[in-house]
Amino acid sequence: MNEISALNLLDEKLQILNQTKLPLVEEYILTDDLERICESIEKLEVRGAPAIGIAAAYGFALSFKLKSELNDNFIMQVYSRLAKTRPTAKNLFFAIDRMLKVAKKSNQSNIYHNLIEEAIKIHKEDIEMCNKMGENGIEIFKKKSIVLTHCNTGSLATGGSGTALSVIKTAFYNNLIEMVFVDETRPLLQGSRLTAFELEKVGIPFKIIVDSAASHTILTQNVDLVITGADRIASNGDSANKIGTYNLAISCNYHKIPFYIAAPSSTIDSQIKNGKGIIIEERSNSEITSLNGNEITKSKYNTFSPAFDVTPNSLISGIITEKQVFRFPYKFV
């Protein structure tokens, strides 16, 4: 096994594996600058809801490393800048809300120490949650299975072994995975670039497919189940994940195979009743009109580029968390 890490704290700086360069180049960013960390989140150099939250926590803490004067305005400036980076991911707000509480309880002499300890704690908690999701997810496998997944949900997207990919890895180590079909995940190809990279590292057999081949693959390749991650889950179980996830859930429902989501409980937003309350981030035209900086259609063309869609709770067979596998109708408390 060759697990990889999306981010680490090294010598009081945040080391980020630049995921925009993978799988062809392994490039690392090392910084203690808040703005650079925010840019890394916005540019998807670090991505995946749990990893975004961890990066934001470290960014919050490192903002105070050399701060000689403490004031509430600065604390809120740091909070606000991080909050603007990726509006859909619940884990971002879970993390920075925790950091804000610690900051407000601290004084000049201990604020940096308290904040960095809290960020490390958030990171360690995510590692443990990933492991438990993998263990809990074993129950969804009834036999050695062919699985289809979407986007990237492994160690590149989290602080630990992943969400949906943690379940897949744990099942593989228990001889329950025959093959994993990996959606390429347009427009930024997180499946063909990142998930394939992770599966190759740990030796799990996989095949990359284009997103539009998913239903055909389910029909013709005897797919047993589909499992994805989530970026925000409403209190009724409606789940926002990478655009294209809703299509998969509809296809699973039609073909009568289970569709699962794996996500830590920190992704569940108890303040939102249903999916209508989830803000869907829209990305720039260039992500559709260009590929690796090369124009593939006219850049002047208008696009509609939602980063996420929402899958209704009725299409979800189960939501795997570090606590348990929840089933419809979803009650998380």
Residues catalogued as catalytic = 231
Q: Which residues contact 38 (CB under 8 A, 6 or more apart)?
A: 59, 81, 82, 84, 85
Phi and psi at 208, nearest 5°, equal -85, 135
Q: Which residues contact 320 (CB under 8 A, 6 or more apart)?
A: 133, 136, 137, 140, 163, 164, 167, 227, 260, 261, 262, 263, 326
Q: What is the DSSP letter of 140?
A: G
Provide the edge-to-edge strand list for the sheet that holds 7-10.
7-10, 13-17, 28-31
Read out DSSP for 7-37?
Answer: EEEETTEEEEE-TTSTTT---EEEE--HHHH
